[in-house]
Amino acid sequence: MAADNYDPFERGPYPAGVRNIEAVDATRNRMFPCEIWYPAAPEYSGRDLAPEAQDEFTVPPRPPHRQMSVRDARARSGCWPLIVFSHPSYFHRRSATYLCTHLASHGYVVAALDHSEVVAPELAWREGATEEETKARIDGVISSRVPDIRLLLERLLEAAPFDPDVALDADRVGIVGHSAGGWTALATPDYESRVRAIVALAPAGASNPRPGILPMKLSFEWKRDVPTLLLAAENDTAVPLADMYEIYERIPATKRMVILRRADHAHFMDNVEREHESFRTATLPPVLKAIQQEMVPSAELTSGEKAHLFTRGLTTCHLDAFLRGRPEARRLLEGDIEGELAARGVEARLDP
């Protein structure tokens, strides 16, 4: 890396902008709020890193959160690769702004929507629902996810552009997802030929998921090589490492798996410690109690800062290698990944 000055772990050369658009699905009668992160014009340089200029948003019941981007900044003109981000079930489109803003700083346009279970009242969790009603709701959540992603791709690639100065390269489209979003990323190539690279963060989709985890099945009916990076957490109580190995073995493509040591499921999200402790100490339905009881305090795990460094760098490197064809990114991926991370204070292992 020192020889070619390539470092995907560091912030990229572009300031990051962010804005909202909508995607409307008339067939399903659903309106999806979408977040778009993008390289901003040069006059915004440094402002995305200055707290007083950063965008701030609130997703109740959580406190306000700043993301490293400038709201409604003028976009930098050009043709950029497109990355779609898919969030965990019943979460929200801004669950990993540390990653989406980082990718924007490296010259990607990143788009995320609130999935159907967030916007469709009939898919909302309801206390006191019958077993039959609960099954119908879960089936609806699962069956909506890939169509949601395809709608977002159509909105960005086939409808009016989100910015008149920005072109999106339909030949360089990737998808990144966490948890149920990781399953979504792995399931989308069954139906969507435009996806050329995948990063799955602790994905759901194992054949025998833990009670309380959505029973999402993966067919892997891919008709082409879609290079895939699977990032896993060593102490994940929701989707254990055994599930990650099973999914990894089934991926029918060029693939890598890297495991972050002393990490749990929330280590791929914003505000790692807060999200981990919130789940660990919350009053939850009985079906989730076993997962909750196995969680250890965040003080015993790797820090959110190190987890974000791990995910940002490896995700950017994978996309650079397989969407942009950067040889220096391929060299990093095929080299001493563990050593590169250890040099940054991150404990991880390449497996198998």
Residue 4's pLDDT is what?
67
Residue 160's pLDDT is what?
78
Domains in the chain (CATH in brackets) are: 16-350 (3.40.50.1820)
| Dist. CA 228–CA 212, nearest whole Å | 27
Residue 144's pLDDT is what?
98
**pLDDT tens track, the chain, 352 positions:** 344 689 999 999 999 999 999 999 999 999 999 999 999 999 999 999 999 999 999 999 999 999 999 999 999 999 999 999 999 999 999 999 999 999 999 999 999 999 999 999 999 988 888 989 999 999 999 999 999 999 999 999 998 789 999 999 999 999 999 999 999 999 999 999 999 999 999 999 999 999 999 999 999 999 999 999 999 999 999 999 999 999 999 999 999 999 999 999 999 999 999 999 999 999 988 889 999 999 999 999 999 999 999 999 999 999 999 999 999 999 999 999 999 999 999 999 998 7
Residue 67's pLDDT is what?
98
| Dist. CA 219–CA 307, nearest whole Å | 30
